[in-house]
Structure 1
Amino acid sequence: MIVKMKFINISGPRDDIDRVMDLYLSRYEIQLESALSELKTVDNLRPFVEINPYKDALLKATQFVGFLEDSDRIEPDTKMGLDDIFELIRATNEEFLAMEAKKDSLKKKQEDVQSRQRVIEPFRPIDGELDKILSYKYIAYRFGKLPAEQYQKMEKFLMNDLGAIFVKGQQDESMVYGAYFVSPAEAHKVDAVFRSLHFERIDIPAAYRGTPERVCQELTKESFDIQKQIGDIEKEEAKLLTEKAAKLVGAKKRLEELAHNFDVRKMAARVEDKKEDYYILCGWMADDDVEKFMEEAKDDDKVFIVVEDDHDNYFGEPPTKLENPKIFRPFEMFVGMYGLPSHDEMDPTVFVGLTYSFIFGVMFGDVGQGLLLVIVGALIYHFKRLPLAGIIATAGIFSTIFGFMFGSVFGFENIIDPLWIRPIDHMTTLPFVGKLNTVFIVSVAFGMGLIIVAMILHIINAVRAKDTASTWFDANGVAGLVFYASVAAVIVLFMTGHNTPAGIVLGVMFGVPLLLILFKEPLTNKIKKKTAKMEESKAMFIVEGFFELFETLLSYFSNTLSFVRIGAFAVSHAAMMEVVLMLAGAEEGSPNWVVIVLGNLFVCLMEGLVVGIQVLRLEYYEMFSRFYKGSGRAFDPYTKTKNNKK
């Protein structure tokens, strides 16, 4: 059902808006509308221009809680006042930032150490004291790297004639590191040769002492010690936050509420004059909540509530909030996919829940597979709250029921006797048709009944919307209902061997409704006493009306035949399970249970998916399209907490 909504205006002193939000509205669901847009008849409306004072503290609290492990399981401390919360965030932030500053300093130092280590690392194989090498006066030295192919060329063709010594360091896939030593007199010539070999010089700082190997070891140890200090600081940070975990989680929760409530100013308006400065909030609230809210605030002289009953004073239709019995709530997903009902429409959720589950059960009738759907769907819905899982569980109940009706248990039809018929075997003889599967006949008859119900729902919706044309002269209105019901009744009488009405009666039953549908527009104008000029000639009106009427008759026929798929899937399900049992060798008395289990799972998944889609198609195209528009907008409360005190 659709929850009845009321449009309310809430006003009071400007500086009291936070108290009202925190004390009252935070415990009710209200969809706020922009007061500046809705209350155009009120003079001197101004927007609120204020900075949210809780945002910065909330960002810090969110950051600190994010560092905690399993913060969702921590019981929040809700006893702190606002001053305590701000002091907690300030003190924690001060301590945390001091630790972070130490950690940043150590990280920069570690980066410097690692950078120096990367410079000296490629020269580790060189056996020589760096401090001595770097202080040579009579020998020129160059540390660097050159491409591996150039090194091979140098080693093979040039080394004996260079007048220099090259000491190789590390080598990777593309480069060879090392240093060459040469007398100062030959340095200029040797440098030119190495430049031609693409030698890149690397400057080695003069502060190193000992061999490159020893220097690398010392730098590694220094980097490790720094990392240990960083780890100690991180442990201190974790200890700091862990000791305050309950308070931080409680502070975050409270600041979220306060920040959210403060942001209500985006939807509010100010009215300021020489005498007063007050706020105005307006929006939609459930009828029951309005009564509770007004009762709770009746003695509060700072809160003024006005319930707006005149729809001409606001813009837009009320939002739609659905409230159905628990078992039907998952089916609200299907309604929402098509479109929520507007307030002058019926909520089709219960109708969808019953018809969808019933049709699914007929098309997928099996005791074992139905129980499997119930168990799996119920478990997923219980733990994950997925609406589709709830739908599967409910549909599985009807699958189980029709499994008993058809006498099928995991495809075996010799375990229990059918309470009704076996779909694949039972035939019925009809006049002019001959033998036809019984479930096909019942499916079409059932579909005709559902179409008639859909037409009745269309008439109810049209009456509620005060739409004369749709009520009386529409193809799904009273005229269409009389025609279709008459055709259905005549077919049933004929097929069951009963006498049909006389020709004159049939002419009236069939002809008058069709004429009413044909002349829908002029008849409506006549009833409403409107004078509308026809845009086309009378002949053209008749021609267009005739083809539209033909299309309507064709839709009646095609929509009715669409329900044959119910029987077709009931038969195909039994046939598919016969194939599974045949492959498993069940007819020979010693079935392969692995094949039976896998076959049942395959049929359950594949056919269950196909049947689910086909039933939804019947709901949308054969039923919803007749009576339902789905033009409503969803109720989106600013506050999400429901008041359950009363």
Structure 2
Amino acid sequence: MSRVSVTGSTQVMDEVIETIHGMRLLHLTDYDGTWKGFDPGDPIEGADEASEKLVTVRSLQSILDMDEDADASDRVVTTDALENELESIRQSVNELDDQRSDLTDQLRAIEDRIEMMEPFATLGIDLDLLSGYDSLSVAVGEGDPTAIEAALTESDITEFELFEENGVVAVFARVDDGVPRDTSSEEQNAASGRTSSGSLEDQLVGTSFSTYDIPDADSDPEQYIEELRHERQQLESELGTVEDQLDEMRAEHGDFLFAAEEALTIDVQRQEAPLSFATTENAFVSEGWIPTERFGEFVETLHSAVGDHVEIDELERASYNGDGHLIDREDVGGTPDRADPTTAVEGSEQVAPDGGSEQSMSKSEPPVVQDNPGPVSSFEALVDAYARPKYSEFDPSIIVFLTFPTLFGFMIGDLGYGLLYAAIGLAIVSKSDGVVADLGRIALWAGGFTALFGILYGEFFGLHQLGDVLWKGKPPLHKGLIPAYGEFADLWLVLSLLIGMVHMTFGYVFDFYEHLSHGASDAIRESGSWLLMLFGLWVWIFAGTPPANVVPGFLFGPESVFNGNPVSLGFTGFSETIGMLGGGAFLIGVALAATTEIAEFIEAVFLKVLSDVLSYTRITAVLLAKAGMAFAVNLLVFGAYEHHGEYHFLFFSEKTPGEVPAEEMIFAGLLNGSGVELLLGAVGGVIIFVAGHLLVLALGVTSAGLQSIRLEWVEFFQKFYEGGGEEYSPFGHVRRFTSKE
């Protein structure tokens, strides 16, 4: 990437902006205001008006619920159309939207009134009988009629009557104070000169009686509800008409609104561009980044548009190597008379800052283009969620692509779950775009590896019958949940440690490579020290050098997992000599870390390379936890028994519950009954099977997914990766709905 400067007279600034916008090459950087005599530019005249129109257009698109993925059209949007046609559409659409809002409010009010009337319809008492009495108080609500009657019997109220229907209760009580009574008016107490103590409401307080407001109506409740439903039907018909008219507006004016939004977006971009410039009364300076190989094209196009009224300088060049690492960032000087560019810009005043010293108008890093191949590009979403790589950093997307779905699939390892994850990912991809679609593609990859490991484990929704079909009952891998294959759990623990060492090694190697730009000595002290500590400590451990009983038997000795327990590699650990060499390498690494920063030395002393690698054992923990959850679901549904250390699901075996010895039975299962018990068990079994496996499926995302992300972000990225880069976003706009005038 090259940082370039464009200096020119304000007389040609509009034409320069239009030309640069059309090229879509220059990633503009903002002027930081540090040059004496220079101010950030002002928007070009008409920017406010264009912005207001853009807001209007986007509001209309929202009201009309326009699809952003609509087919593109190619049209010219004239100034007259933006003035007259847009205003006409705005008035019509806003009028219809106001009608829709008003009808929606009326419908909501009707629904509330119907909901309020339904208890009175249930009660079956005419509304005019519930209010307007001189010496009768009425309360309607929900409550226990027995409790209400008991409370009123014990009260000072001597005469009352209850009516109850499907939980709705009406209470009529005589009150001889000469004041009309009903529960909907608080002014009655004030009119009688009494407080509310001793009123019907007070007597019902302890009965959990929930009162309803009595409607101001005098008809039969059912009839009243029918009238409301009829009114609702009329309103829905009117609302449907308005919605149809809005659909017609969308069909008729959709293309224009998309084109208008694009035209106004382009206008606003152009008119607000000077906000990023350094300007004086007569001159401007703009800076930005472009791909180095297109600098010549950039200069030629600008000179063709405005001639010698601008001066274009290449100020700095930053280059990648084939691995995306910054290998060269050098000043390339610009023009010989950079200190006084007025000689190159006709009609301008002197624009060199600070007496002619060369400097940038802002401090900026080159923008980043993440140019990964198709499948890898989707995993940029996981990298960017942490932080976009800087121009000078290695983009770890390829490593995340290789490790994230593999770790996820290994932890879940089930053909059924894998197919569901893949189906969910496919659905997301088909209905989304952008980052959401990338997440769908990640789910596809994760689902594919989950299905692959599921085949190797011989499991389908936790059932081992797939292994019987594909591997004749002897799948190449076991999760280690079954006692007969418990050694596999130890194997996965050791494999998790090895995965952690390899994963972290890549991180330290990348960090070593990046530090080479500061010299080999710096790279060895900053990164090589950690590689020495990592391998030195773990070679020491795998040689059984630590005190007895500290190193588990499955790591070292005859019980090592690689000595036929269960993998026959004949490895029982490194020799004592190699172990001592490893310990020495670790101490050398600590000594090198002490020459860098105190924080590095403290982390080394507190064995960070040990804790970081141990963190990868969460892979095995999730694997066993998910396998155990799936087994528990299947155990409840199908039943199981243990025979010679192996679990067998009773439903799929040739044995009946009565044929299994009591000491071998784990659980009989809901599907292994008979008669009514079998029928009820089948219903419950289906519910548990579906709900249980859906829960495991969901927890797979929150456990395997989040743990995989954590290992990438914390244990891997923090070894070498800082992030904080800015995406390359060239000034301009890709036209979809408009053509140049």
Task: With the length of structure 1 as denominator, give the TM-score of the two structures.
Answer: 0.63
Whole-angstrom distance in 2 between the partners of 1:444 and 1:99: 67
1:449-507 Cα deviation digits (max 9, x unpaired): 2222222122122224x276752223xx1122123223334545663235343677456
Q: Is 1:485 matched up with 2:535?
A: yes
Q: Quick one: which of 272, 283, 289 aligns to 1:284? A: 289
How far apart in 2 are the matches of 1:97 and 1:499?
83
Do residues 9 (structure 1) and 5 (structure 2) align? Answer: yes
Structure 1 residue identity aligned to 2:721: Y
What amino acid sits opposite 1:394 in the alignment?
A: W
Give SS of 2:378's match. helix
5 Å matches for 1:193-212? Answer: none
**Contact preservation (8 Å) 2:277, 2:284:** yes
Over 3 Å counting, the alpha-carbon distance change for 1:175 and 1:352 in structure 2 is closer
Aligned equivalents of 1:95, 1:409: Cα separation in 2: 61
1:630-645 residue pairs with structure 2 within 5 A?
Answer: 630-635=723-728, 637-639=730-732, 641=734
Distance 1:481 1:556, change over 3 A: same
Amino acid at match of 1:378: L
**Alignment equivalent of 1:265, drawn from 268, 274, 278:** 274
- Over 3 Å counting, the alpha-carbon distance change for 1:503 and 1:292 in structure 2 is same
Cα distance change of structure 1 residues 99 and 480 upon mapping to structure 2, 3 Å threshold: closer
Instruction: Give yes or no for contact 2:28–2:731 (8 Å, CA) kept in 1.
Output: yes
Q: Which residue of 2 aligns with 1:501?
A: 577
Flag structure 1 segments of 5+ consecutive residues without an equivalent: 104-147, 153-171, 177-231, 522-540
Partner Cα separation in structure 2 for residue 319 and residue 451 of structure 1: 28
Could you tell me how far 1:95 is from its partner in structure 2? 6.7
Asked whether 1:318 is paired with 2:359, we answer: no
| Cα shift readout 1:357-396 (whole Å, capped 9, x = no counterpart) | 2111111111121121112112203322314333222222
Query: 1:48 and 1:236, CA in 2 relative to 1: closer, same or farther beyond 3 A?
Result: same
Alignment of 1:493-572 (within 5 A): 495=556, 496-497=571-572, 498-501=574-577, 505-506=581-582, 508-520=584-596, 549-551=604-606, 553=607, 555-572=608-625
Query: CA 1:468–1:37 in 2, change beyond 3 Å: closer, same or farther?
Result: farther
SS at 1:422 equivalent: coil
The alpha-carbon deviation at position 402 of structure 1 amounts to 1.3
Shift of 1:270: 3.4
Match of 2:209 in 1: none
Asked if residue 336 in structure 1 is aligned to residue 384 in structure 2, the reply is yes
2:38–2:278: 8 Å Cα contact kept in structure 1? yes
Map 1:143-222 onto structure 2 (within 5 A).
none
1:611 has 2:699 as partner: no
Change (3 A) 1:365 1:294: farther
Which residue does the alignment assign to 1:308? 315
Matches of 1:600 and 1:361 in 2, distance apart? 17
Would you say the 8 A contact 2:33–2:278 is kept in 1? no
Aligned to 2:478: 422
The counterpart of 2:448, out of the listed 385, 390, 397, is 397
| Corresponding residue of 2:28 | 32
Match of 1:600 in 2: 693
* CA displacement at 1:315 relative to structure 2: 1.5
Secondary structure of the residue aligned to 2:459 is: coil
Residue aligned with 1:423, SS = coil
**Against the structure 1 CA distance between its residues 252 and 389, is the aligned structure 2 distance closer, same or farther, given a 3 Å change threshold?**
closer
1:369 touches 1:604 (CA, 8 Å); kept in 2? yes
- The answer to whether the Cα contact below 8 Å between 1:365 and 1:406 also exists between their aligned partners in 2 is yes
Residues 205-242 of structure 1 deviation map (CA, whole Å, 9 limit, x = unaligned): xxxxxxxxxxxxxxxxxxxxxxxxxxx99999999998
Counterparts of 2:244 and 2:264 in 1: how far apart (Å)?
Answer: 27
Aligned twin of 2:635:
582
**What residue identity is the alignment partner of 2:698?**
L
Contact conserved, 2:516 with 2:523, CA < 8 A, in 1? yes
Q: Which amino acid aligns with 1:307?
A: E
Q: Please report the TM-score for the alignment, with normalisation by the length of structure 2.
A: 0.56
Shift of 1:512: 2.7
Distance 2:32 2:55 in 1: 32
Contact 2:422-2:447 at 8 Å conserved across structures: yes
Structure 1 residue 580: Cα displacement = 1.5
Tell me the number of residue pairs that the alignment of Structure 1 and Structure 2 aligns. 484
Residue in structure 2 matching 1:439, options 463, 480, 492: 492
1:14 CA drift (Å) = 2.8
- Report the Cα offset of residue 517 of structure 1: 2.4
- The code of the aligned residue for 1:625 comes to Q
In structure 1, give the amino acid aligned to 2:400: V
Between the aligned partners of 1:59 and 1:505, the Cα distance in structure 2 is: 73
Counterpart AA for 1:485? F
Kindly tell me: are residues 174 and 307 of structure 1, through their superposed partners in 2, closer, same or farther at Cα, counting changes over 3 Å?
same
Determine whether 1:255 maps to 2:264: yes
- SS of alignment partner, residue 375 of structure 1: helix
**Amino acid in the other structure paired with 1:331:** F
Q: Following the alignment from structure 1 to structure 2, what is the Cα–Cα distance between the partners of residues 414 and 99?
A: 65
**Which structure carries more relative contact order (alpha carbon 8 Å, separation 6+)?**
1
1:149 and 1:13, CA in 2 relative to 1: closer, same or farther beyond 3 A?
Answer: farther
- C-alpha distance in 1, partners of 2:481/2:254? 69
Counterpart residue number, 1:536: none
Task: Describe how 1:55-94 pairs up with structure 2 within 5 A.
Answer: 55-56=48-49, 59-60=52-53, 63=56, 67=60, 69=64, 71-72=66-67, 78-80=74-76, 85-92=78-85
Measured against aligned partners, the alpha-carbon deviations of 1:60-88 in whole angstroms (never above 9, x if no partner) come to 5764785574555887875446xxx2223
Q: Report the Cα distance in structure 1 between the residues aligned to 2:254 and 2:735, rounded to whole angstroms.
A: 28
Q: Does the CA contact (< 8 Å) of 2:28 and 2:289 recur in 1?
A: yes
Match of 2:504 in 1: 451
Verify: 1:381 aligned to 2:443, yes or no.
no
Structure 1 pair 570/347, CA: closer, same or farther in 2 (3 Å)?
A: same
Match for residue 344 of structure 2?
A: none
Tell me, yes or no, if the aligned pair for 1:458 and 1:626 is still in contact at 8 Å.
yes
Displacement of 1:588: 2.8
Residues 15, 306 of structure 2: 8 Å contact kept: no
Q: In structure 2, the residue corresponding to 1:589 is in which secondary structure?
A: helix
Cα distance in 2 for partners of 1:97, 1:483 equals 69
Considering only CA atoms, is the larger Rg found in Structure 1 or Structure 2?
A: 1
Which residue identity is paired with 1:349? S
Aligned residues: percent identity?
21
Q: Retained in 2: the 8 A contact 1:427–1:437? A: no
Take 1:16 and 1:316, find their aligned partners in 2: how far apart are those partners? 26
Indicate the SS of the match to 1:479: helix
Q: CA deviation at 1:436?
A: 6.2
2:201 alignment partner in structure 1: none
**Aligned partners of 1:362, 1:67: CA distance in 2, in Å?**
49
Q: 1:364·1:608 contact (CA, 8 Å) conserved in 2?
A: no
Report the CA distance shift for 1:292/1:613 in structure 2 as closer, same or farther (over 3 A). Answer: farther
Q: Which residue of 1 aligns with 2:719?
A: 626
Q: What is the root-mean-square deviation of aligned Cα atoms in Å?
A: 4.6
Residue 53 of structure 1 and its aligned partner are, at CA, apart by: 2.0
Partner residue in 2 for 1:471: 523
> Match of 2:690, SS?
helix
Instruction: Provide the C-alpha distance between the structure 1 equivalents of 2:484 and 2:587, rounded to a whole number of angstroms.
Output: 32
**Cα distance in structure 1, aligned partners of 2:577 and 2:484:** 25
Give me the whole-angstrom Cα distance separating, in 1, the residues matched to 2:720 and 2:514. 7
